């Protein structure tokens, strides 16, 4: 096992910057998804909404 040099041999800005962007993108997706779920209150509404629908696979 090699302990990585945090400065990444002088490339730290680029390496950590790319991973920070990846983290931000994933967090953004999860937060917007969570917001979408909550805003629709679907956890409570879902059974009610789906109860009135048919099992049709086509519109």
Partner 1 sequence: MNLYKYASPTNFYPLAGKIIPWFATPAAILFGVGLFVGFFIAPPDFQQGDAYRIMFIHVPAAWLGMFLYILMAIYAGIGWAFNARLASMMASSISITGAMFTFLSLVTGAFWGKPTWGTWWVWDARMTSTLILLFLYIGFISLQSSIDDPRRADRAGAVLALVGVINVPIIYFSVQWWNTLHQGATIRILQKPTIHGSMLWAMLIMLAACWLYSVAVVLIRVRCIIVEREQNANRFVEATV
Give CA 57 to chain center in angstroms.
Answer: 28
Angle (CA) 49-50-51 rounded to 5° is 95
Window 22 to 41, contacts with partner 1 (CB under 8 A): 22, 25-26, 28-30, 33, 36-37, 40
CB of 38 to partner 1, least distance (A): 10
Measure the CA–CA gap between 1 and 18, rounded to whole angstroms: 23
| Residues near partner 1, by CB under 8 A | 1-5, 8-11, 14-15, 17-19, 21-22, 25-26, 28-30, 33, 36-37, 40, 42, 45-46, 49-50, 52-59
């Amino acid at each position: 096992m090699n302990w990585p040099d945090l400065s990444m041999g002088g490339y730290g800005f680029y390496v950590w910057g790319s991973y920070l962007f990846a983290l931000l993108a994933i967090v953004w997706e999860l937060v917007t998804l969570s917001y979408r779920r909550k805003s629709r209150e679907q956890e409570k509404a879902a059974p009610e909404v789906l109860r009135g629908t048919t099992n049709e696979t086509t519109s």
